[in-house]
Structure 1
Amino acid sequence: MHTRSSSKQTKTASFGQDLDEQKKLVLPELGEAIELQNDSFARSLYHDLASDSAIDNFLKTSRFYSVPERRWKLPRSYTKLLDTNFYTPFRNIISTVVKRFWGDATRQRSREVVDTHATELQHSDADPPTHTSQPSLVIKAKGPSFQLPCIEGGEVLAKIGFTNIAACIEIQVEGGELPVSEQLARAAIYARQLFIQQPNRRFVRVLTITGHHLRLFHFDRSGAQYTPPLNFNDDPHTFVRLILGLSSPNELDIGLDPSIQWRVENGRKVSGTLTTRAAGDTEKVYPLIYIDPFFSRYHIYGRGTTCWIVSDPVSGEVQLVKTSWRSDDRTAEYVHLQDALGIPGVVQMLSCEPDRGQTKDLRSFGDRHPPDFGNRVDTRVVMQCYTHPIITFTSAKQLLCALRDAIAGHKKLFKKGTLHRDVSIQNIVFGVPGADPGDRGILIDLDMATRRNEAGFHPPMDWRIGTPLYQSIMVLYSVDLPQPLPHDYLDDLESFFYILTYIIYKYDCHGVSHPSDKFLKRWEASTGINAAESKEAFLSRGKFIPGTIASRWPDACLDVFVSFRTLLFPLVQGKVSIMGMDPEDVPKSLRWFTLNAEHHYDKIIQIFDTGIAALEKADAEGAASKMQMATPPQPLQPPERRSPLKRPSGEYPESQPPAKRSSPNASQAVRSLR
């Protein structure tokens, strides 16, 4: 993409002084923007909406187009126009096109061209509250995907906002137009808000008009692309078709997914449905339990994951529908979910739509596309719905049970050849209330999972995959390794440990948050080698736990934490030592880990089982003690006479603390690898 800077200022500025802040939010989300070398993309769109003859008839009869001069009746100079009427000539032309071809829609006011250059459109709650923007013109829309925006804490309805806009049109003065890089940034800010505030968006198109030229910006989950300037006087047919496409009453034309629809009352969504393909390729309509998505990613570029909570129309069972755009060179999540079928502790798939569309088709690339374009495939999966993230725990036992079952599920999935690779606190949830052991904690989100190759290894580590706070030491080191080692089970087990560490150091046993420990702050603030070295130092601390941390947790839970760390430390040191080995010795050392993987899983699960049993025993003793305290007082009795040879039962401890297992030291582990 070619960019240039410009000191020119246009009186059509559509942002406040926070424009630079908004750019910082949106530009990293675009990926690689593609500058098209010709206008074939713009010319290819929306031919089904109006024929050449229909457009010719419109041009002949329109009072805003001169057939003899072959140009739109726009001012030849804008220097004398005031801000209040600068946009009027463009609004008149675009409104005429919309009314002529979408007469019913305009009469019903489901499509209307509105001048918003002086109207502050509020950005989503995900952005700072001061962020607003003012597109020159918008296509205001009504329909099953639109609603009036809320302002002032949801108490007042605004007349227009990003929740009821079909498209944005930016207008600039010929000679005072912004450089293309600036046009792209502003168009992306509008696109981002449409993606966020219209959660069934598949793509967004923004039209920028500069005097006698137009440029079309297209945004989807592969990023952005834009056309070169096109003279709309020389090609009025393309101009008309683009207006029709941006204002079409057909939601599919304007980039919305019609499989998700809402019922609107008094301008607001009150209920909705989601239609998908179930088993046997049959169509199934699910009522939405919530109007808004349960989860959604805000970035333009990427998977764009959106999750909906629905109810089965027959059984009424609560289920989760996940839509995401996977890279077409990556194994689809549903393939890994098929491997997970029947495995306790791992999310269960009910049905899937593996290919609902591709970004290359949205851009009219077909099978040939630019080398810097990454195609993405729209995939939808229906899964069993569980409950809350593990971070919402309310007791130490609930926490340990959930982690234990998620680790056990991870083990069984690994034995089938699939490795999760993205173990984080967001990807472990609680099972349904009253779940049996094995399903008390559920590992979700297999988007980044991989399968073993023919050599028995998984792909190399990639520091860009996963959440740095929970990444293993070796994954963190991989940022500077020319040939990273394969990602393996030990990296994921280490991530489970950092989840436990985060919770132990950040919360108490009742789930109440406390100020972050210095280690957590260091891990959150650093990446790569610095974070890796900090975690190595933390693993080497053995049984040490700061008193302020230890006072918040029962001993049984602390024993699990210490035993987990003690087990991991020599294994991680052994893995780190492989970095210094000769290349021919590396596969043998890696296979040692693979051959011992089940043993390591079993020892960790045993650590959790011991801790859970200790907590259950403490709970039972506490309950018995409460019952004893609640026994009504009895009349005083004379003291019982005892034999001097019999020892009172109270002098014997009821139980002994479980013996702690010792772990091989680091040097022994390293020697065993060689």
Structure 2
Amino acid sequence: MRTRSSEKRDKTVSLDPKFDEQKQLVLSELGGVISLDDETVIRSLYHHVAPESAIDTFLKKSRFYSLTQHRWKLPRSCAKLLNNDFHTPFLNVLSSILKHFWGDSAAQGTREVIDTHSTDLQHCEADSVIHHSRPSLVIKAQGPSFQLPYTKPGETQPKVGYSSIALCIEIQAEKDEIPIFDQLVRVAIYARQLFIHQPNRLFARILVLSEQHVRLFHFDRSGVQYTPLLNFHNNPHTFVRLVLGLSSPNESDIGLDDSIQWATQDGRKVSGTLRTRDANNEYIIYPLATIQPFFFNGNIRGRSTICWSVRDPITNEKLVVKDSWRSEERLSEHVFLQDAVGVSGVVQMVTCEPDRCDTKSMRGDALPAGFRNRIQTRIVMKAYGKSIKKYTSAKQLFCALRDAIAGKPDAEPGNRGVLIDLDIAMRRNLNKLADCQMGTRLYQSVAVLKSCITAHPFPHDHLDDLEAFLYVLVHIMWTYDSDGVAHPDHEMLSNWDGYSHDCFVLATLKGGYLTSDYVPIEIQERWPSPCVDLIVAFNTFIDPLMRKKMMLAQLPPAVRNGRENVFTTNAIQHYTHILQFFDTAIEALDRPDTWRVLDSSNDLSDKSASPCTSTSQAVAEPASNLLESHRSSLKRASDNYPDDQPLAKRSNPPRSSSTPLVPLPRSTRESPVPSPT
């Protein structure tokens, strides 16, 4: 029986059934989508890979291209193919190009076209969800940046996966062509996995083919742009260059950073190196301490920070290399790190490359209005402890946060918590207005969130930073227990982190939290009472200051008459107050006999209480008393502070503790993605 492709063919056949979940993952990362108006960019790419004369020779010899008909040997309509097999003709054309130009390398399998339209390519996600996708064709690659897919013991080794792919190709019959926005989502899913599985990838390009046309999607840290359809039968030279460039044995052509390379054994990475420049601007090659980066969120657009663990080739000292992408208008992080040389509680820089490359140079000659260029910075810095999420006790966590808060110029040199992320820092006293588009939504203060709708917003100040520290602590306490064991995400945090809400709604939610002093009963059960007391006291301290700021923000500067200066004038007192809360809690954590046990009379959540995990029946000082005990603390002399917990501005040795921890790196998420028109 003659079988034709059906008009009712499932248009999502190449994607995981959980397509909607994947769609939401990529949409939050794309930002403004740029649709190019003409063919300039697609025609300009990869002229260096093969001269016109060499392509002419190939087209004359190829049995897959007809010079007389000006056509590749492809079906004019996939609807007329037997058995719906419209992938094989495309595979034959692409394979012929690779075999002719790459010769021995293609024959040895370093570049090979694979039909994957019915193969589940497994995804890698931060959580436990399991996704897969099925690009129509891929170009499988071997080389210093690729490896076979990871398999569990006993599993059959897949032939190909996103860790071994140079290029994804989506084939769509023209009569079944899906809308451009759906095309974008589909190829963005492929691109996202290439970035995740290949952490040295700078950009990813995807081809969408039909019987007559090719479209190029380009993804980088500025987002995505795509070209108009190009008739590749009438433009065979452009088509050949695209295929060659996107399958090139030169990994930089594909979009990979060849300064990071690996050695492989049996198809898997076993060791690696990272090349950068030292303080004398000479190349230095660091051995990778681990094969994969220890921090990488896999986002397409944004700062997309990646942290590598390396060792000094001479001293064997462990160091950290941080790659990130800053907006062109922002100062490079290395400028702030130079200012922080010798400052305790702040990461110390070894060397840097502030302008390695930018997204502008990756996109060809046509840059439309509104394009936001991003520049890659590589910084080598001293290694410290683990991420703050790796704490193993409440005291370790609170000591780390305490010292991170104190880690300011002239502050106490506490090293239990070290700030390592200054890539969107700003200089104080510059009166830079708060900007809700900068920073991680989950940790933004109410004033920063409202800055986009407030008529006369305040400059970003120290209170915004202190409020952000509070939300870091909330994030940890609401999603982990006192031993560092993870628990399911709390609904409140999901709402704070959700881009489905606008900034005003998020500000209202956080303002309501600050006012309520709300600590859910299940959180109280997982944490010693001094921890609960501290977070309530932290809330109670921040709330009136935040509300006073927001009231003044409604007034024009002339009417304010300088009343807002009281906040910055009292900055040291504010820091001192917060640090005292931490000092009191840390001291109490060493005395479990004083911990409060929950009952209905002292449940801080105003809900029915359940027993605390503490075995003690003693009742500790309530949170309200903890706050009240510090009402007059600003008048105390520095000599009255505990010897082992110094003031923020005092130079005493830090308390001893276990391995230092560093605060959570910022997310790269910025603003929600607009739907393309």
TM tier, shorter chain?
0.7 to 0.9
SS in 2 for 1:322: strand
Q: Give the alignment partner of residue 436 of structure 2, picking from 437, 450, 463.
A: 463
Contact 2:123 2:133 in 1 (8 A): yes
- Tell me how far apart the structure 2 counterparts of residues 171 and 520 of structure 1 sit (CA, whole Å): 40
Contact 1:203 1:220 in 2 (8 A): yes
Q: Give the alignment partner of residue 487 of structure 1, picking from 460, 463, 482.
A: 460
Q: CA deviation at 1:86?
A: 2.1
In the alignment, which residue of structure 2 is the partner of 1:477?
450
SS in 1 for 2:244: helix
Contact 2:456 2:553 in 1 (8 A): no
> What one-letter code is carried by the residue in structure 1 that aligns with 2:471?
Y
Q: Deviations over 1:578-624 (max 9, x none)?
A: 134343143612222222212322333344345545656x49999xx
In the alignment, which residue of structure 1 is the partner of 2:69?
69
Written as runs of structure 1 = structure 2, the 5 A alignment for 1:492-511 is: 492-503=465-476, 509-511=482-484
User: What is the aligned length?
Assistant: 596
Contact 2:455 2:553 in 1 (8 A): no
Are 2:288 and 1:315 equivalent residues in the alignment?
A: no
Are 2:426 and 1:450 equivalent residues in the alignment?
A: yes
- Tell me how far apart the structure 1 counterparts of residues 407 and 336 of structure 2 sit (CA, whole Å): 13
> What one-letter code is carried by the residue in structure 2 that aligns with 1:355?
D
Residues 517, 105 of structure 1: CA spacing in aligned structure 2 closer, same or farther, 3 A cutoff?
closer
Q: CA deviation at 1:182?
A: 2.7
In the alignment, which residue of structure 1 is the partner of 2:542?
568
Residues 549, 194 of structure 1: CA spacing in aligned structure 2 closer, same or farther, 3 A cutoff?
closer
Residues 244, 599 of structure 1: CA spacing in aligned structure 2 closer, same or farther, 3 A cutoff?
same
Residues 272, 63 of structure 1: CA spacing in aligned structure 2 closer, same or farther, 3 A cutoff?
same
- Tell me how far apart the structure 1 counterparts of residues 192 and 259 of structure 2 sit (CA, whole Å): 21
Q: CA deviation at 1:498?
A: 3.5
Are 2:327 and 1:327 equivalent residues in the alignment?
A: yes
Q: CA deviation at 1:88?
A: 2.1
> What one-letter code is carried by the residue in structure 2 that aligns with 1:356?
R
> What one-letter code is carried by the residue in structure 2 that aligns with 1:213?
H
Q: CA deviation at 1:524?
A: 6.2
In the alignment, which residue of structure 2 is the partner of 1:599?
573
Q: CA deviation at 1:151?
A: 4.0
Are 2:246 and 1:246 equivalent residues in the alignment?
A: yes
CA RMSD of aligned residues (A): 3.4
> What one-letter code is carried by the residue in structure 2 that aligns with 1:409?
G
- Tell me how far apart the structure 1 counterparts of residues 532 and 20 of structure 2 sit (CA, whole Å): 47
In the alignment, which residue of structure 2 is the partner of 1:670?
none
Residues 316, 359 of structure 1: CA spacing in aligned structure 2 closer, same or farther, 3 A cutoff?
same
Q: CA deviation at 1:289?
A: 1.6
Contact 2:449 2:506 in 1 (8 A): yes
> What one-letter code is carried by the residue in structure 1 that aligns with 2:402?
R
In the alignment, which residue of structure 2 is the partner of 1:631?
none
In the alignment, which residue of structure 2 is the partner of 1:386?
384
Are 2:190 and 1:190 equivalent residues in the alignment?
A: yes
Residues 489, 210 of structure 1: CA spacing in aligned structure 2 closer, same or farther, 3 A cutoff?
same
- Tell me how far apart the structure 2 counterparts of residues 18 and 504 of structure 1 sit (CA, whole Å): 31
> What one-letter code is carried by the residue in structure 2 that aligns with 1:405?
D
Q: CA deviation at 1:478?
A: 3.1
> What one-letter code is carried by the residue in structure 1 that aligns with 2:463?
L
- Tell me how far apart the structure 2 counterparts of residues 518 and 188 of structure 1 sit (CA, whole Å): 28
Contact 2:327 2:374 in 1 (8 A): yes
SS in 1 for 2:253: coil
Q: CA deviation at 1:241?
A: 0.7
- Tell me how far apart the structure 1 counterparts of residues 248 and 417 of structure 2 sit (CA, whole Å): 46
> What one-letter code is carried by the residue in structure 2 that aligns with 1:575?
K
SS in 1 for 2:386: coil
Q: CA deviation at 1:223?
A: 1.2
> What one-letter code is carried by the residue in structure 1 that aligns with 2:451?
S
Contact 1:123 1:129 in 2 (8 A): no
In the alignment, which residue of structure 1 is the partner of 2:671?
none
Written as runs of structure 1 = structure 2, the 5 A alignment for 1:626-637 is: none
- Tell me how far apart the structure 1 counterparts of residues 77 and 527 of structure 2 sit (CA, whole Å): 75
Written as runs of structure 1 = structure 2, the 5 A alignment for 1:402-417 is: 402-410=400-408, 412=410
Residues 246, 285 of structure 1: CA spacing in aligned structure 2 closer, same or farther, 3 A cutoff?
same
- Tell me how far apart the structure 1 counterparts of residues 398 and 35 of structure 2 sit (CA, whole Å): 52
SS in 2 for 1:58: helix
Written as runs of structure 1 = structure 2, the 5 A alignment for 1:172-571 is: 172-365=172-365, 369-410=367-408, 412=410, 438-452=414-428, 456-503=429-476, 509-511=482-484, 528-529=503-504, 532-533=507-508, 535-536=510-511, 539=514, 560-561=534-535, 564-571=538-545
SS in 1 for 2:460: coil
In the alignment, which residue of structure 1 is the partner of 2:18?
18
- Of 528-537 and 75-84, more deviation after overlay is shown by 528-537
Residues 121, 346 of structure 1: CA spacing in aligned structure 2 closer, same or farther, 3 A cutoff?
same
- Tell me how far apart the structure 1 counterparts of residues 328 and 461 of structure 2 sit (CA, whole Å): 23
Contact 1:566 1:663 in 2 (8 A): no
- Tell me how far apart the structure 2 counterparts of residues 192 and 110 of structure 1 sit (CA, whole Å): 23
In the alignment, which residue of structure 1 is the partner of 2:620?
none
- Tell me how far apart the structure 2 counterparts of residues 534 and 144 of structure 1 sit (CA, whole Å): 48
Contact 2:345 2:413 in 1 (8 A): no
SS in 2 for 1:350: strand
- Tell me how far apart the structure 1 counterparts of residues 627 and 17 of structure 2 sit (CA, whole Å): 64
Residues 607, 83 of structure 1: CA spacing in aligned structure 2 closer, same or farther, 3 A cutoff?
same
Q: CA deviation at 1:178?
A: 2.8
- Tell me how far apart the structure 2 counterparts of residues 130 and 26 of structure 1 sit (CA, whole Å): 15
- Tell me how far apart the structure 2 counterparts of residues 532 and 19 of structure 1 sit (CA, whole Å): 31
> What one-letter code is carried by the residue in structure 1 that aligns with 2:380?
V
Q: CA deviation at 1:118?
A: 2.0
In the alignment, which residue of structure 1 is the partner of 2:610?
none
In the alignment, which residue of structure 2 is the partner of 1:96?
96
TM-score (ref. length: structure 1)? 0.80
- Of 86-95 and 272-281, more deviation after overlay is shown by 86-95
For structure 2, the residue ranges without an aligned partner over 5 or more in a row are 1-6, 596-624, 634-677
Contact 1:34 1:224 in 2 (8 A): yes
- Tell me how far apart the structure 2 counterparts of residues 81 and 273 of structure 1 sit (CA, whole Å): 49
> What one-letter code is carried by the residue in structure 2 that aligns with 1:441?
G
SS in 1 for 2:280: helix
Q: CA deviation at 1:173?
A: 2.5
- Of 299-308 and 78-87, more deviation after overlay is shown by 78-87
- Tell me how far apart the structure 1 counterparts of residues 395 and 276 of structure 2 sit (CA, whole Å): 39
- Tell me how far apart the structure 2 counterparts of residues 135 and 548 of structure 1 sit (CA, whole Å): 44
- Tell me how far apart the structure 1 counterparts of residues 129 and 579 of structure 2 sit (CA, whole Å): 46
- Of 35-44 and 19-28, more deviation after overlay is shown by 19-28
Q: Deviations over 1:400-419 (max 9, x none)?
A: 32222111114659xxxxxx
Residues 39, 546 of structure 1: CA spacing in aligned structure 2 closer, same or farther, 3 A cutoff?
closer
- Tell me how far apart the structure 2 counterparts of residues 502 and 170 of structure 1 sit (CA, whole Å): 40
In the alignment, which residue of structure 2 is the partner of 1:589?
563
Contact 1:475 1:491 in 2 (8 A): yes
Q: Deviations over 1:611-670 (max 9, x none)?
A: 545656x49999xxxxxxxxxxxxxxxxxxxxxxxxxxxxxxxxxx999645289xxxxx
Written as runs of structure 1 = structure 2, the 5 A alignment for 1:153-164 is: 155-164=155-164
- Tell me how far apart the structure 2 counterparts of residues 280 and 189 of structure 1 sit (CA, whole Å): 41
Q: CA deviation at 1:294?
A: 0.8
- Tell me how far apart the structure 2 counterparts of residues 606 and 493 of structure 1 sit (CA, whole Å): 14
TM-score (ref. length: structure 2)? 0.80
Q: Deviations over 1:353-384 (max 9, x none)?
A: 1111111111113xx72112111111111111
SS in 2 for 1:588: coil
Residues 84, 534 of structure 1: CA spacing in aligned structure 2 closer, same or farther, 3 A cutoff?
closer
Residues 44, 8 of structure 1: CA spacing in aligned structure 2 closer, same or farther, 3 A cutoff?
farther
Residues 663, 534 of structure 1: CA spacing in aligned structure 2 closer, same or farther, 3 A cutoff?
farther
Q: CA deviation at 1:12?
A: 9.4
In the alignment, which residue of structure 1 is the partner of 2:658?
none
Residues 27, 63 of structure 1: CA spacing in aligned structure 2 closer, same or farther, 3 A cutoff?
same
Q: CA deviation at 1:329?
A: 1.2
Q: CA deviation at 1:14?
A: 2.3
- Tell me how far apart the structure 2 counterparts of residues 548 and 174 of structure 1 sit (CA, whole Å): 55
- Tell me how far apart the structure 2 counterparts of residues 471 and 343 of structure 1 sit (CA, whole Å): 25
Residues 379, 659 of structure 1: CA spacing in aligned structure 2 closer, same or farther, 3 A cutoff?
closer
Contact 2:34 2:226 in 1 (8 A): yes
